[in-house]
Structure 1
Amino acid sequence: MDNKKGGFIGQIESNEVINVAAEKGSVLNARILWTFSSAYKLTKIEDHKKIAKRAFNYILKYFYDTEFGGIFWSLHPDGTPKDTKNQIYAIAFVIYGLTEYYAVSKDEKALKVAIDLYKKIQEHSYDPINKGYLEAFTRDWRNIDDLRLSDKDANEKKTMNTHLHIVEAYANLYKVWKDETLQKDIIEILQVIDTHFINEETGHLKLFFDENWIENPDVISYGHDIEAAWLLLQCAEISEEHSLITKYKKHAIQLTDATKEGIDEDGGLWYELEPKKNELISEKHWWPQAELMIGFFNTYELTRDKSYLNVVLKNWNFIKKHILDSENGEWHWGINADYSLIEKDKAGFWKCPYHNARACIEIINRIEKIKNE
């Protein structure tokens, strides 16, 4: 927590050094909001709810753009806007956090802002001609040249990653706001993802497209493959569209099986593969491990094939040995092929208590469900 300037510190470095001068990212703060709200559901620990409320208050006061109705991408440490672009990915995460917070707090302001942000995405990002959603805009919702989430991404107008997290956010909103138009929007996004983003020949995801759905082939992202495997099925179940539930059960198994290609002998999941060169990005980051645990457990639930459960257990042992920081808390960014630590943020713009906390919460809830059957 940033006890001098409010909210949360923008970065804790790999060596536990707190960087009070770091910019504050909307994604980090939205994920803190979601994580501590979701944790409170499970733990009923009042401190978790208090931290969620702190994140909620800070987002509304500093990140929420009351003039144009968007979310600032980043702030200076004192809370003044730094990068004011509207990145739809970030807005989706704020919706995700706000709706989870509303579920535990019943604060009507959280629901109202979530609904307003949903309507802004539909108004400005939705492509009524070709379907799907465009990536980013200026503060006042004009077109912008650089659409990328980060430097490593292709500069394309439609991406798998953003669509995945829009539907995740919309599904979480629908859980607390049973609006028929929202339900139809969720169903349409799932149909778009089925049509364009899932490669049924390989079982992997296609990641980048232009506005007319012409693909710009890129890497195979094992973490996104396995995250999509379980998360899209969950969204389909929330949509209550039976044909999509059936379809996404099949996708879940296929995406899970395709992810097996990226699992090392030690149980860890490699980061990405460059197919043209058949070149592995031989790092094991924290978040693909977290998503692997949920994704393979989910496929175990669907099939009752214990080979999927064995992958989860082996991966959990890998996490405990190499990723979990039992001394200082949280998870390390990851390890290199030689098992040396990747010295990047312990917490920061992209390193947030979301993938790993969610994995723990999901696995706990799924084990309880099986025990009660």
Structure 2
Amino acid sequence: GEDSSWAETIFDQALGTVEAGRLQPKFLRPSEGFALPMIIIAVAQELRAANPKRTKHYNALIDQLIEKIQRLFVNEEHRCVLEQTGIDGTPQFDHFEGRLLNPGHAIEGAWFIMKEARLRSDRDDYFSLGKKMLDWMWEWGWDREYGGIIYFRDVLGHPSHEYWHDMKFWWPQTEAVIATLLAYHQTGDDHYLTLFNQAYDWALRHFKDERYGEWYGYLHRDGSLSVDLKGNLYKGPFHIPRMFLEGIELFS
């Protein structure tokens, strides 16, 4: 009948879409991501420490990366650190990825930059930049109702596209601990000591397994346990030991 004919027409059209040349080829929107320059800074810092003969080379590389972060991802209008922008730094707020904020990730990048200022006495501007990133992203990330650093935010307040957007993962907490402790160490400002105590105390209360040791990895927004595994392909022995090592190095 008529319905059958309509259904077959739709079916034939659907089959036609898989024919070569029928549809426009897919394309990726030209964009830049915060993740790569941020993590290369940390790697370059470690390689420089291991091979001081190449200090000048690594300093120049880190300078380029920090300049790129400041130019593309540090958004003054919205007082945030964006995870993705256009290649010229233009915000891409018309889709999910362009509006995505990852407070823990940005705070991690903030302490990399503050650490660079601590290691190089001629770059006070780096400390100012890193501290600004920390200040902004703490406001976005700290959950005023339940405590802890929340996983994702949308810069325009729209719904997030990831189902775990309001969960508390272990690693954003460790990065907040390092960043606030470093800011306190460098400034002596009790404000950052207060933030450090907030982040550290909350993490220990909620993530630490008091009976068997180690930290859980995944909590619901209210701090209740989501799953009791302590390691997987994503959660390994990295962020937690680094948190303690960075603190020990700061005050040793």
Per the TM superposition, whether the score is higher than 0.5 is yes
Counterparts in 2 of 1:83-98, with a 5 A limit?
none
1:167 and 2:46 matched: no
Write the distance in 2 (CA, Å) between the matches of 1:183 and 1:365.
Answer: 21
CA drift at 1:355: 1.5
Partner of 1:327: 211
Deviations 1:2-36 (A, max 9, x none): xxxxxxxxxxxxxxxxxxxxxxxxxxxxxxxxxxx
SS in 1 for 2:128: helix
CA drift at 1:309: 0.7
> Which amino acid in structure 2 is aligned with residue 254 of structure 1?
K
Q: Which has the higher contact order (CA 8 A, sep 6+)?
A: 1
Counterpart pick for 1:277 among 140, 150, 157? 157
Write the distance in 1 (CA, Å) between the matches of 2:27 and 2:215.
Answer: 31
Counterpart pick for 1:209 among 80, 85, 107? 85
**Contact 1:157/1:209, CA 8 A, preserved across alignment:** yes
Partner of 1:246: 124
**Contact 2:168/2:220, CA 8 A, preserved across alignment:** yes
Residues 236 and 303 (structure 1 numbering): CA distance in 2 closer, same or farther, change over 3 Å?
Answer: closer
**Contact 1:160/1:208, CA 8 A, preserved across alignment:** yes
Deviations 1:78-115 (A, max 9, x none): xxxxxxxxxxxxxxxxxxxxxxxxxxxxxxxxxxxxxx
Residues 311 and 146 (structure 1 numbering): CA distance in 2 closer, same or farther, change over 3 Å?
Answer: farther
CA drift at 1:294: 0.9
Write the distance in 1 (CA, Å) between the matches of 2:30 and 2:40.
Answer: 17
Write the distance in 2 (CA, Å) between the matches of 1:170 and 1:205.
Answer: 21
CA drift at 1:271: 1.4
| Unpaired runs of at least 5, structure 1 | 1-144, 148-154, 369-373
1:362 and 2:251 matched: no
Residues 241 and 186 (structure 1 numbering): CA distance in 2 closer, same or farther, change over 3 Å?
Answer: farther
Partner of 1:371: none
Partner of 1:293: 177
Write the distance in 2 (CA, Å) between the matches of 1:181 and 1:362.
Answer: 24
Counterparts in 2 of 1:111-126, with a 5 A limit?
none
CA drift at 1:328: 3.1
> Which amino acid in structure 2 is aligned with residue 219 of structure 1?
L
Residues 236 and 344 (structure 1 numbering): CA distance in 2 closer, same or farther, change over 3 Å?
Answer: farther
**Contact 2:118/2:127, CA 8 A, preserved across alignment:** no
TM-score (norm 2): 0.74
Counterparts in 2 of 1:126-137, with a 5 A limit?
none
Write the distance in 2 (CA, Å) between the matches of 1:162 and 1:325.
Answer: 33
Write the distance in 1 (CA, Å) between the matches of 2:116 and 2:127.
Answer: 11
Residues 327 and 229 (structure 1 numbering): CA distance in 2 closer, same or farther, change over 3 Å?
Answer: same
> Which amino acid in structure 2 is aligned with residue 166 of structure 1?
I
Counterparts in 2 of 1:210-249, with a 5 A limit?
210-211=86-87, 213-216=89-92, 217-238=98-119, 240=120, 242=122, 245-249=123-127
CA drift at 1:314: 2.2
Deviations 1:35-81 (A, max 9, x none): xxxxxxxxxxxxxxxxxxxxxxxxxxxxxxxxxxxxxxxxxxxxxxx
CA drift at 1:276: 2.9
Residues 321 and 342 (structure 1 numbering): CA distance in 2 closer, same or farther, change over 3 Å?
Answer: same
Write the distance in 1 (CA, Å) between the matches of 2:156 and 2:41.
Answer: 30
Write the distance in 2 (CA, Å) between the matches of 1:202 and 1:358.
Answer: 31
Percent same amino acid at aligned positions?
24
Partner of 1:264: 143
CA drift at 1:182: 3.3
1:185 and 2:65 matched: no
| Unpaired runs of at least 5, structure 2 | 1-25, 93-97
Deviations 1:268-294 (A, max 9, x none): 111111233344732111011101111
**Contact 2:150/2:221, CA 8 A, preserved across alignment:** no
Residues 344 and 194 (structure 1 numbering): CA distance in 2 closer, same or farther, change over 3 Å?
Answer: farther
Residues 276 and 160 (structure 1 numbering): CA distance in 2 closer, same or farther, change over 3 Å?
Answer: same
CA drift at 1:208: 1.4
SS in 2 for 1:342: strand
TM-score (norm 1): 0.52
Partner of 1:114: none
Counterpart pick for 1:195 among 57, 65, 71? 71
Write the distance in 2 (CA, Å) between the matches of 1:345 and 1:247.
Answer: 41
Partner of 1:307: 191
| Larger Rg over CA atoms | 2
